[in-house]
Structure 1
Amino acid sequence: MRVPVDGGDLAVEIHDGDTPPVLAIHGVSGSRKLWNWLAAHHFSLIAPDLRGRGDSHEVPGSSIRQHADDMVRVLDALDLQSVTVCGMSMGAYAAVDLAVRHPDRVRALVLVDGGFPMPAHAQMTEEVLSAAFAPQVAARERTWTVDEYVAVQAMVNPVIDPADPLVRDYFAHDLTPDGHLRLPADTLVADATDVIFGTSRWRELTMPTWFIHAEWSTGPDSPPAYTADQAQAFRAELPVLREPVLINEVDHGGTVMTRAGAVVTAEVLAEALK
């Protein structure tokens, strides 16, 4: 379905399942296809392509606050007053902003490897950020076949399985029919800047919250985005936060984009829906 927001229409995919509805918010360079792994577990999902991504790629302007406001429009369009919200990576930060500014719309919150301050961000500068995203920006200057794009992503993301049809579907959704990447570089950098240099209001959360984090960040044995000690420190400060859940032998993307990671994330989401 298409949902009117400031500047255009968001594409929103509805997965019919066996649960109450879950608003699922993807990450900075992702799309609604991220949630296909959870849809396979029979959840009822509301999965938007955020502005600047997928079939919403022509909607201009981007920030964590804007994404949260867009999610209110999505819930209004579906006549839903309050839902469980699941956000991954940047989507977790948007979920926190939504929950803090519109607490009546969020009955429970599941944050997947995001939403809390990442220690690595404290070392980040704008110059380092630009360098980190330079390969992704450069990739937008060429055309790709789906096979080429999936092969490159499998090298960058060694935990994912390129033979998984859901992986192929996910990355194919990044491309226009003529083989260009649909995520504008300025949108990617703007949202990353907002996540890294902005302030998460996680201490203001008031609804039951679950936090899932990965053993690695980008591939086997890489330092995690969050250590177990850091996750416990968040819990000590936030009374509504349940016991953090560590997913072993997956990285950041693998929390959802692998069968093993999706099983654990699905179990936590099912608990949040009770």
Structure 2
Amino acid sequence: MDRESRTVAVPVEGGALAVEVVTAASAPVLAVHGVTSNRRLWNWLRAEAPDLSLVLPDLRGRAGSFAVAGPSSLRQHAEDLVRVLDALGHDRVDVCGMSMGGFVAVELATRRPDRVRGLVLVDGGLPMTVPPGLTRETVAAAFAPQLERVSRRWADVGEYLAYFTRANPLLDPADPLLLDCLDHDLTDGRVMLSRAAVLSDAADVFFGDSRWQEITVPTELVCAEWGVGADTPPAYSDDALAAFRAALPTLRPPRRLAGADHAATIMTHSGAAVVGVALRDLPA
């Protein structure tokens, strides 16, 4: 299927977001990446669902939007995304968010329900159990492994790829889509990722006031069997999923991805295919 792709700069408070717009057969879907990621996180969804029209922003403090100044938070991201929809002339859209992007999607859907038609949440968006010992004061220490990449200069994207796949053992180091995603992080050997934005957003995910029980639109949840690597505790237990369904009438039966961890829910062809089905299953 033929698709057109263009990148636009959308003015927001503190600068301009880099937004890739992919035009295909469907109505537009706004796709929101995770806390340390970028818009190429959706490479696999583009491959598995070529019929989908996608709006793909780099969130402030990341990749093409690294230079956007000012504080970062779930609410600020939601406000930025309203600016994106306004700039592109989109009234209401389906929104797909992965990990922290799911929390941004929920923030958008509850603060501006007039702009969101349906939600697909990928291993995020609904409250996660706070890891033992994690507090607002210890977020920096907890995220030190993820932020190690910021303090280093990488010889090339291959070196960065080797580092990244050691931390994400279920991803395929020979996958060209992964190489492209990681290459989008880099400028002159540096990862374009704001430490301040990551820590502020992470604290908001775990300790902010979520309004998830106010979601009024059809919602799909795709979640992993494991956390990071095989046989690790998932972000969402079966008991938690049952509690969410009891409390949120708009939440459809969750889709548990067997053999996938957090990253593999979207950074693999098999995970992205399920996310594509979930998007197509939202009411038109």
TM-score of the aligned structures, taking structure 2 as reference length: 0.93
Match of 2:225 among 210, 215, 232: 215
Instruction: Report how far residue 243 of structure 1 moved.
Output: 0.8
In structure 2, relative to structure 1, the CA distance for the partners of 1:273 and 1:141 (3 Å cut) is: same
Partner of 1:108 in structure 2?
Answer: 118
Instruction: Report how far residue 137 of structure 1 moved.
Output: 3.1
Is this contact kept in 2: 1:214–1:225, CA < 8 A? yes
In the alignment, structure 1 residue 28 sits paired with structure 2 residue 35 = yes
Is this contact kept in 2: 1:53–1:183, CA < 8 A? yes
Instruction: Report how far residue 198 of structure 1 moved.
Output: 0.7
C-alpha distance in structure 1 between counterparts of 2:264 and 2:148, whole Å: 24
Unpaired runs of 5+ residues, structure 2, are: 1-7
Q: Mapping of 1:160-199 within 5 angstroms?
A: 160-176=171-187, 178-199=188-209
TM-score of the aligned structures, taking structure 1 as reference length: 0.96
C-alpha distance in structure 2 between counterparts of 1:228 and 1:55, whole Å: 37
Instruction: Report how far residue 18 of structure 1 moved.
Output: 2.0
In the alignment, structure 1 residue 51 sits paired with structure 2 residue 60 = yes
In structure 2, relative to structure 1, the CA distance for the partners of 1:239 and 1:123 (3 Å cut) is: farther
In the alignment, structure 1 residue 133 sits paired with structure 2 residue 140 = no
Partner of 1:12 in structure 2?
Answer: 19
C-alpha distance in structure 1 between counterparts of 2:221 and 2:133, whole Å: 23
C-alpha distance in structure 2 between counterparts of 1:103 and 1:210, whole Å: 16
C-alpha distance in structure 1 between counterparts of 2:147 and 2:63, whole Å: 16
In the alignment, structure 1 residue 86 sits paired with structure 2 residue 96 = yes
Match of 1:39 among 30, 46, 63: 46
Is this contact kept in 2: 1:228–1:246, CA < 8 A? no
Instruction: Report how far residue 122 of structure 1 moved.
Output: 6.9
Q: For 1:137, what is the secondary structure of its paired residue?
A: helix
Match of 2:9 among 2, 8, 16: 2
Is this contact kept in 2: 1:84–1:273, CA < 8 A? no
| 4+ runs deviating over 4 angstroms | none
Partner of 1:243 in structure 2?
Answer: 253
C-alpha distance in structure 2 between counterparts of 1:146 and 1:155, whole Å: 14
C-alpha distance in structure 1 between counterparts of 2:197 and 2:153, whole Å: 19
C-alpha distance in structure 2 between counterparts of 1:123 and 1:68, whole Å: 29
Q: For 1:12, what is the secondary structure of its paired residue?
A: strand
Which letter maps to 2:173? P
In the alignment, structure 1 residue 224 sits paired with structure 2 residue 231 = no
Question: What is the identity percentage for the equivalent residue pairs of Structure 1 and Structure 2?
Answer: 53
In the alignment, structure 1 residue 155 sits paired with structure 2 residue 166 = yes
- Could you report, residue by residue, the CA deviation over 1:242-271 in whole angstroms, capped at 9, with x for unpaired residues? 111111111111110011111111111111
Instruction: Report how far residue 36 of structure 1 moved.
Output: 1.2
C-alpha distance in structure 2 between counterparts of 1:170 and 1:46, whole Å: 16
C-alpha distance in structure 1 between counterparts of 2:165 and 2:211, whole Å: 34
Which letter maps to 2:181? Y
- Could you report, residue by residue, the CA deviation over 1:49-100 in whole angstroms, capped at 9, with x for unpaired residues? 0000010000022110000000000000011110000011111111111001
Which letter maps to 1:125? T
Q: Which moved more, 1:178-187 or 1:117-126?
A: 117-126
C-alpha distance in structure 2 between counterparts of 1:246 and 1:136, whole Å: 25
Q: For 2:190, what is the secondary structure of its paired residue?
A: coil
